[in-house]
Amino acid sequence: MIEKELLKAVLAEQMENFVNKELGVPREVLPLISKMTKTPHVVVITGLRRVGKSTLLTQIASKYLNDNYYYVSFEDERLTRFEVSDFDILYETLVEMWGEKKIWLMDEIQNVVGWERFVRHMHDIGHKLYITGSNASLLSEELATRLTGRSLKVELFPFSFKEYLVWCGHQNGSVVTTKDKGKIVRLINHYISGGGIPESLQYPDLNILSSLYNDVLHRDIVSRYQIENVRSLKEMAHYLASNVANLVSFNKMKELLKLGSVNTVKSYFDYLESSWLFFVVNKFAYSVKEQQIAAKKVYCIDSGLAKVVGFNFSKNQGRWIENLVYLQLRRYGDEVFYFKTQNGDEVDYYLPKQNKLIQVTHSLENPQTRQRELSAITQASREIKVKCELIVITERERGEIEFEGNKISILPIFEWLGGDSGK
């Protein structure tokens, strides 16, 4: 059992730091969370380490909670021995220090094995809980077993481009109405280069991204899943980061990394994905089996992080733009696939619920590139046999064109990110 005096000291220090923490850039998920504050559900905020979950909690507290809450961070090294049986003394201590409150903010709760039993109990007796965690897989399993129907999930990503512009002090995040197109293009190139991890942007001279990657790899994966072959795990991360927006095959990775089986490759990838480093997009197919066996497209949580982990292919700007588009679609919770036509042409994104096809390329100025990209998206539209909105996203081109009887919108990436992208 944790010592009560130590717990008091930890809680007092944590609360002081929390209430004095800078609010930072208002996150775009706040309006969604505002609606959740009016429900009895447990609000579960998940995302990569250092992506701003703790700062988001301070914004929630400042905006909606009127100082009527408890705050506990289980990332604190002094609480590493905290066990589920210690929640009773935690509650007792909090009431003793600050009186009876019905709202809880709990950071990185996945560090306590069995946490979901306490959360369910407090929810059942009428308490409102906001919890954060950095492991999507563990949280999903625990939520499914103990909190079915009792929780609402929020995914927090690195800064969106709008949030990045606010951080830069540029027109309150407005990108559509700006007259200075050249400045916006420079800013989005800086955004692609450095990524959107708040702490890395705040301290550009420090090795924040390398430190973050090592923390995720060793604390969230190697230690948690007791990985012995750390070298192969690192080689896989390097391979994936070097192939952002490319098709990858688990069988090919097995051969390249000399791993024993495809199942090992899948397990490693599941660990990397559940820790929020990488994502995959499946090929669209009406057969689930075909989706499973087809090659996957891989994306990274942050372009700046990908450049630290993998080989920097800076000349291929189109792939980085494509990664931005994927992350934005994920922010809006879209179901995303890539589409492959019968003659093998690829369309980067198909959103079946919205009947949208999205193609991404650096530029359409080259006639061969233009023909290839427009042919692929119009052919995909014909094969889907449902009228789709057709969009091509580039670095800076804008317009609307007719191609083979189809109307296609051409949008620059900064305008698409700054408008109602993904909606």
Q: Give the whole-angstrom CA distance, residue 336 versus residue 358.
A: 10
Question: Do residue 295 and residue 376 come from a single domain?
Answer: no
Residues 102 and 35 in one domain: yes
Write out the two tokens for 72: 């506990």
Distance CA 84, CA 92 (A): 14
| Cα 154 from Cα 46, distance rounded (Å) | 6
Q: Which two tokens stand for residue 170?
A: 């540029």
* Amino acid identity for residue 44 in this structure: V
| Whether residue 37 is found in the same domain as residue 140 | yes
Same domain, yes or no, for 40 and 90? yes
Question: Where does a domain end: 102, 137, 156?
Answer: 156
Structural domain contains residue 119: yes
Closest CA to 108 of 59, 195, 49: 49
Measured CA to CA, the distance from residue 199 to residue 177 in angstroms comes to: 29
Q: What is the DSSP letter of 39?
A: S
Q: Are residues 14 and 95 in the same domain?
A: yes
Pair 149, 8 in one domain: yes
Q: Flag whether 180 is in a domain.
A: no
Contact 202, 196 (CB under 8 A): no
Q: Which two tokens stand for residue 92?
A: 């007792």
pLDDT value of position 312:
67
pLDDT of residue 195: 95
CATH number of 263's domain: 1.10.10.10
Assigned domain for 96 exists: yes
What is the pLDDT at residue 37?
A: 96
Closest CA to 2 of 88, 72, 119: 88
**Per the domain annotation, does 301 fall within a domain?**
yes
Residue with the two structure tokens 């997009």: 281
In a domain, 205, yes or no: no
Judgement on whether residues 300 and 334 belong to the same structural domain of the protein? no
Out of 122, 156, 190, pick the residue that ends a domain. 156
Write out residues in the chain with pLDDT < 50, as ranges.
none
Could you give phi then psi for residue 329, rounded to 5 degrees? -65, -40
Both 92 and 236 in one domain: the answer is no
User: Are 115 and 36 in the same domain?
Assistant: yes
Distances (CA, A) of 324 to 45, 194, 297, 301, 351: 21, 13, 14, 9, 16
Phi, psi of 102 (to 5 degrees): -115, 5
pTM: 0.92
Inside any domain, residue 376: yes
Q: Are 277 and 301 in contact (CB under 8 A)?
A: yes
Q: Are 129 and 123 in contact (CB under 8 A)?
A: yes
Classify residue 161: in a domain, yes or no: no
Domain hosting residue 398, numbered range: 330-418
Domain count, the chain: 3
Q: Are residues 73 and 131 in the same domain?
A: yes
CATH number at residue 149: 3.40.50.300
Same-domain status, 294 and 380: no
Q: How far apart are CA 357 and CA 362, in angstroms?
A: 17
Are residues 344 and 298 both part of a single domain?
Answer: no
Which of these three, 314, 342, 368, is where a domain ends? 314
12 within a domain of the structure (yes/no): yes
